[in-house]
Amino acid sequence: MDKSILCIGAGYVGGPTMAVIADKCPDYKVTVVDINKKRIEAWNSDNLPIYEPGLDEVVKRARGRNLFFSTDVAKGIKESGIIFVSVNTPTKTFGAGAGKASDLQYWEKTARDIIEHSQSDKIVIEKSTLPVRAAEAMSRILQSNTKGLNFDVLSNPEFLAEGTAISDLDNPDRILIGAMRTESGQKALKRIVDIYARWVSPEKIKTTNVWSSELSKLVSNAMLAQRISSVNSISAICEKTDADIEEVTGAVGMDSRIGAKFLRASIGFGGSCFKKDILNLVYLCEYYNLPEVAAYWEGVVNINEYQEKRFVKKIIEKMFNTISDKKIAIFGFAFKADTGDTRESPAIYICRWLMEERARLMIHDPKALENAKIDLKDIQGNIEYFEDPYEAVKGAHAIAVLTDWKNFKSYDYEKIYSLMEKPSFIFDGRNILDHKKLYSMGFNVFPLGKPEQTHLSERII
């Protein structure tokens, strides 16, 4: 029981995190359960449900030895002394706080399951990202059990980034664990610290009270997203003034107080976390009657939407104010490189707006086509999906780069140019291509936050 770990929720966090714990701690039995049967079947197959560099190898090493995937939630709870809860906590779409607050229904359901199936004391660890003081609610629900059982609720938010999940888990910047200041809470804390201490050095394991831990996760995502929105807001000024965003961020990032990371201009942030976690923070501020603080953080989300819309507006404007019936090849649908995840991807919104203008879309992505089809399934109009980039660009008037996949750089753009309609446009929403070279091939190139390079004369008199 002491060395049996359960994780409820086999998603982007639960799967990789538990695979790494099982890999590093072969003397622990780690079981990951989920109510989604298809997902569990995929975790037990050679075709894992998520794409993450390095994940296949870790799972192969541990699966069947001390790592198990199952749909039997009740059995998992009965047999484990340590339970991580890693279920989804999306933004609420209904009732009070709709559009901002976290929807805690999946999370609360796990509390009910734990009470129902527990026959011994448990340590319950919040891995999901939750509002501050969520552990209090979990604790109250669990302590209402009539079996005389003790539950210690800890917060251990996950900081992995999709696309680098395995290296982030292998070598984290920090492990954060928040515990109650009670004797039993501190004992539970030590047991969880001992697990991470197998491969993480002590100075990187930070222990705090539960509320600081919960808030730190929200703040961490809010600050990262804020950097993106800050740079993106400046990219708009660059385009008006012929300043170059990369030169600006290069200079600004050299200040050691600011640092060079996360200063790339783009069409905006996506992913399942940034927007939802900032809105969760905004809702908390409103709840605690801090309207100025709420407005400050909401601005980060507003700039993100502005940047996505600005990109679409530019495409329309530069293509002679109409894209109706024009073919646009979309390079990249995932919210960032090295993942097939498309949740909250800017590509979803950008493609929808392009379709509203009656464009014809040819979507190409190395890993995200299946998710893209689901995201756009309700759209009427002309959308095609291509594994092969050269098929995607046939007869296209423009290419819009929406994801920073490295392999986009090595495509044969001479060939691509020969396959496209003329004049040919490239809108590089990630600034990853060689703009000078593309221009010299004949493309009209529109980067983000940099002067455009076009063969179109400004004015015909």
Ligand X SMILES: NC(=O)c1ccc[n+]([C@@H]2O[C@H](COP(=O)([O-])OP(=O)(O)OC[C@H]3O[C@@H](n4cnc5c(N)ncnc54)[C@H](O)[C@@H]3O)[C@@H](O)[C@H]2O)c1
Residues in contact with ligand X by CB under 6 A are: 8-14, 33-36, 39, 73, 86-89, 106, 109-110, 128-129, 158, 160, 162, 272-273
Closest CB to ligand X among 162 and 244?
Answer: 162
CB 214 within 8 A of CB 125: no
Q: Closer CB to ligand X, residue 249 or residue 272?
A: 272
The smaller minimum CB distance to ligand X, of residues 131 and 447, is found at 131
Residue 109, φ and ψ in degrees, nearest 5? -60, -40
3-state secondary structure string, the chain?
Answer: CCCEEEEECCCCCHHHHHHHHHHHCCCCEEEEECCCHHHHHHHCCCCCCCCCCCHHHHHHHHECCCEEEECCHHHHHHHCCEEEECCCCCECCCCCCCCCCECCHHHHHHHHHHHHHCCCCEEEEECCCCCCCHHHHHHHHHHCCCCCCCEEEEECCCCCCCCCHHHHHHCCCCEEEEECCCHHHHHHHHHHHHHHCCCCCHHHEEEEEHHHHHHHHHHHHHHHHHHHHHHHHHHHHHHHHCCCHHHHHHHHHCCCCCCCCCCCCCCCCCCCCHHHHHHHHHHHHHHCCCHHHHHHHHHHHHHHHHHHHHHHHHHHHHCCCCCCCCEEEEECCCCCCCCCCCCCCHHHHHHHHHHHCCCEEEEECCCCHHHHHHHCCCCCCCEEEECCHHHHCCCCCEEEECCCCHHHHHCCHHHHHHHCCCCCEEEECCCCCCHHHHHHHCCEEECCCCCCECCCCCCCC
Q: In this complex, which beta carbon is closest to ligand X, that of residue 102 or of residue 307?
A: 102
Nearer to ligand X, 103 or 244 (CB): 103
Separation between Cα atoms, residue 51 and residue 53, nearest integer Å: 7
Residue nearest to ligand X (CB): 11
In the numeric block, the tokens 């530069």 are attached to 318
Q: For tokens 């998710």, name the residue.
A: 371
In Å, how far are 28, 48, 63, 80 from 68, measured between CA atoms?
11, 13, 6, 13
Least distance from ligand X to the Cβ atom of residue 210, Å: 16
Query: In whole angstroms, how close is the CB of 291 to ligand X at the nearest point?
Result: 25
CA-based torsion, 149, 150, 156, 157: positive or negative: positive
Query: Considering beta carbons, is residue 35 or 234 the nearer one to ligand X?
Result: 35
For the CB of residue 44, give the shortest distance to ligand X in the complex, in Å.
Answer: 14
Whose Cβ is closer to ligand X: residue 8's or residue 193's? 8
CB 406 within 8 A of CB 337: yes
Residue 271: CB minimum distance to ligand X, A: 6
Is-catalytic flag, 25? Answer: no
CB of 381 to ligand X, least distance (A): 29
Among candidate residues 7, 25, 238, 273, the one labeled active-site is 273
What minimum distance in Å lies between the beta carbon of 12 and ligand X?
4
Whose Cβ is closer to ligand X: residue 33's or residue 248's? Answer: 33
Q: How far is the CB of 127 from ligand X (least distance, A)?
A: 6
In the complex, least distance from residue 116 CB atom to ligand X, rounded to whole angstroms: 12
Catalytic (active-site) positions:
273
